[in-house]
Structures are given as C-alpha cells and as structure tokens.
Amino acid sequence: MRAAQFSRFGGPEVLNIVDLPEPRPGPGQVRIVVHAAGINATEWKLRSGELSFGAGLPQTTGRDVAGVVDELGEGVTDVAVGDRVFGVSDDGAGAAERTLVTHRAPIPPSLGFVDAAGLPIALETATRALDQLGVSGGSTLFVNGASGGIGSTAVQLAVARGARVIGAASAANRNYLSQLGAEPVTYGDGMVEQVRALAPAGVDVALDVAGSGVLPQLIDLAGDPKNVVTLADLEGSDKYDVHFSNGFVDGHGFHALAEIGELIETGRFWLPVDRTFPLDEIATAHRVSEHGHVRGRIVLVLG
Ligand SMILES: NC(=O)c1ccc[n+]([C@@H]2O[C@H](COP(=O)([O-])OP(=O)(O)OC[C@H]3O[C@@H](n4cnc5c(N)ncnc54)[C@H](OP(=O)(O)O)[C@@H]3O)[C@@H](O)[C@H]2O)c1
C-alpha cells in the first residue's frame, strides 16, 4: 500500500511516498481503508523533530483519519466491516491507504470523509482542555489562536456548553470567529486592551492554542496561572506555572468523537476544510500547515 513516510527529521522535502505492507489489526483495533487524512500542526512538528512521541525512523506520518472499516481485530463489536468511521491512527500512520484505529466513532451522517478527517485530534484536544479549565454555562473563556483546527473546535464546543467566548485571530479572521460564536479580537499589540473592552473585569479562564508567547497576558486576563491552560507553549508553561495539557499524561478526551454527532447534525458545529491535497502532495500540505495560518483544517484526499 502507498504511505507517506520520512527516514530523517527535516523540512517537508524529507517526506516520501513509499510502498509498505498492509497492517493487520490486533485486539480492539480496526483496519480502515483511508479515504481522507487530516494534517494538523503536530504532523510537521513530528516530521521536523521539534516534537517526539517516541517513535523511531523511518516514521509513517498522519494521525487524523476517516475511511471505511475493512478488517476487525479480536473483540471488536462496536463497528462492522463496511462502516464509515473517523478516528486517530494508532501508530501515527494515517497518511496511508490503510491504517489501524483504536479510538474511533461512526462518521456523523451529514459529513463526508474529507470533513470528518479534520476532526478527531481537534475534538479530543479541545474537549480535554475545556474540561481542564472547567468551562461550562456562565464561564467567560478567552481563546488565543481561535481560528485554527483546535481553536475553531474549542470555540464552538465552549459555546455549546453555554460559555461566553472571546477569541483572538488575525484581522482577516474576525468575521470567521463571529460565525463560530466568538467575540473576535486581533492578536498582537493591544490584544489585552481589546479583551478588556469586551470584558472589563477580565475572563474566568483562558486557553492558549497558538503558543505565541502570550501567557503573561493570559494570566493577567484570567487573574491566576491556574485559570490558564496552554496546548503549545511548553517553555512558557514552566516559566509562568501554567498547566501544559498533554493527553499522554492527563488522559485523552476521545469520548468527544462519539459525542459530536448531535452538534453537527443540529448545525451547531462545523470545522471548515481550508484546502485539500492528494497524498502525493503531502509535502506542500505540510508547508501550508507550517506557515501557521490555516483556517480550520487541511486534509489529504486518498480516494
Ligand atoms: N498539547 C496537546 O495535546 C496538543 C494536541 C494537538 C496539537 N497541539 C498543538 O496545538 C497547536 C495548534 O494546533 P492546530 O493544529 O490547531 O494548529 P493550526 O490549525 O495550524 O493553527 C493555525 C492557526 O493559528 C493561528 N495563529 C497563528 N499565529 C498566531 C498568533 N500569533 N496568535 C494567535 N493565533 C495565531 C492562525 O490564525 P490566523 O490565520 O488568523 O493568523 C491559524 O488560524 C499546535 O502548536 C499543536 O502542536 C497540542
């Protein structure tokens, strides 16, 4: 089967399409024929070596997937061969014609494979972070980096919980943030003042998705480091005593995959696909993601 792989860490040029044996599912796993695979910021960080989940080289890439189940591992009863599912590739090997998936859910009926492929990591991560911040009805939440995959997801899930959300993105994304249900502000100089103009007493909690070095500003707005969670600023989390949310340590929020259907089918959740690329153009897809201004998600289309 065709799969995207790298055998050394580096720029997008280290990605190659190779021929690999098809994987076989173990207990609890299903194998899916991958129709679409999402690209998120973690993919290029793993490829560049900036981030490691402990996998060696060569490494197949890609975690978010959507496709059709074609083989069941021992003990699997929740899905059947032929079902449409979305989930997270177990070995981070989702940019491939087939992959193994433990954490999965049926694709909501109104979604195609491309839309579903952008969702799993964003749903898991945003749900975990909102739970850690205790976001619920009546909370006021500030999201720094509200227009990317995880940010767009966090905004809408928080609004669905009944929270008031203020989100920061570039000026070009102000209308987009309003569509998601957030009150928009523009990141950069004056961001704190813009938030205070909307919420003079500050916010209850703040989520840093962008990792853009603004934790002191978020602490100022939320009143205390314990009211702030970052998903991307490891250095700042140590320096300012802010919790860095890490699914491997904190526990994952995979239950969000099975729960999102109702919000999607009632028109209360939508994660736009900014661009699609064929598998052969994965290096270009990584370049676009790495540039840092994707609205929603980028998705590879395999078939
Ligand atoms: N800790 C965890 O468990 C975990 C899990 C998954 C991912 N992550 C991390 O979470 C981060 C976000 O991932 P993602 O896939 O959602 O990224 P993404 O979709 O690539 O994010 C792109 C967005 O970032 C925004 N942005 C760029 N510069 C910004 C700035 N200075 N201030 C605020 N927003 C800015 C852009 O907005 P504009 O276009 O409007 O500029 C764009 O919409 C990554 O660092 C990723 O590694 C962490």
In the three-class reduction of DSSP (H, G, I as helix; E, B as strand; rest coil), residue 219 is classed as helix
The pLDDT assigned to 303 comes to 80
241 C-alpha vs ligand 1 centroid, how far in Å?
A: 21
Q: Do 101 and 74 have their domain in common?
A: yes
CATH number at residue 177: 3.90.180.10
DSSP single-letter state for residue 21 = P
**Which residues does ligand 1 sit against, CB inside 6 Å?**
40-42, 45, 121, 125, 144-145, 147-151, 168-170, 173, 187, 209-212, 231-232, 245-247, 289, 292-295
Alpha-carbon gap, residue 67 to 104, rounded angstroms = 11
290 C-alpha vs ligand 1 centroid, how far in Å?
A: 10
How many domains are there within the chain? Answer: 2
Q: Do 112 and 131 have their domain in common?
A: no
Q: Do 243 and 130 have their domain in common?
A: yes
Q: Do 150 and 168 have their domain in common?
A: yes
Q: Do 135 and 194 have their domain in common?
A: yes
The phi, psi pair for 36, rounded to 5°, reads -155, 145
Q: Do 64 and 168 have their domain in common?
A: no
Give the Cβ contact number of residue 160 at 10 Å: 16
Q: Which residue stretches of 71-143 are H helix? A: 113-117, 120-133
Nearest-CA residue for atom 45 of ligand 1: 232
The pLDDT assigned to 180 comes to 98
Q: Do 187 and 131 have their domain in common?
A: yes
The pLDDT assigned to 22 comes to 97
Q: Do 194 and 105 have their domain in common?
A: no
Residues ≥6 apart with Cβ < 8 Å to 193: none
Q: Do 135 and 223 have their domain in common?
A: yes
Residues ≥6 apart with Cβ < 8 Å to 191: 168, 185, 214, 217
Nearest-CA residue for atom 47 of ligand 1: 42
Name the residue of 152, 173, 187 whose CB sits within 8 Å of the most ligand 1 atoms, as the mutation to test its pocket: 187
- One digit per residue, the tens of pLDDT, for the chain of length 303 reads 999 999 999 999 999 999 999 999 999 999 999 999 999 999 999 999 999 999 999 999 999 999 999 999 999 999 999 999 999 999 999 999 999 999 999 999 999 999 999 999 999 999 999 999 999 999 999 999 999 999 999 999 999 999 999 999 999 999 999 999 999 999 999 999 999 999 999 999 999 999 999 999 999 999 999 999 999 999 999 999 999 999 999 999 999 999 999 999 999 999 999 999 999 999 999 999 999 999 999 999 998
Answer yes or no: is 259 within a domain.
Answer: no
41 C-alpha vs ligand 1 centroid, how far in Å?
A: 7
Range of the domain at 114: 2-119+271-301
Q: Do 132 and 113 have their domain in common?
A: no
Alpha-carbon gap, residue 233 to 208, rounded angstroms = 8
Q: Do 291 and 180 have their domain in common?
A: no
Q: What is the model's pTM? A: 0.97
Name the residue of 123, 186, 208, 231 whose CB sits within 8 Å of the most ligand 1 atoms, as the mutation to test its pocket: 231
Alpha-carbon gap, residue 194 to 144, rounded angstroms = 13
Q: Do 78 and 41 have their domain in common?
A: yes
**Alpha-carbon distances of 107 from 47, 88, 134, 225, 298, rounded to whole Å:** 28, 13, 27, 37, 18
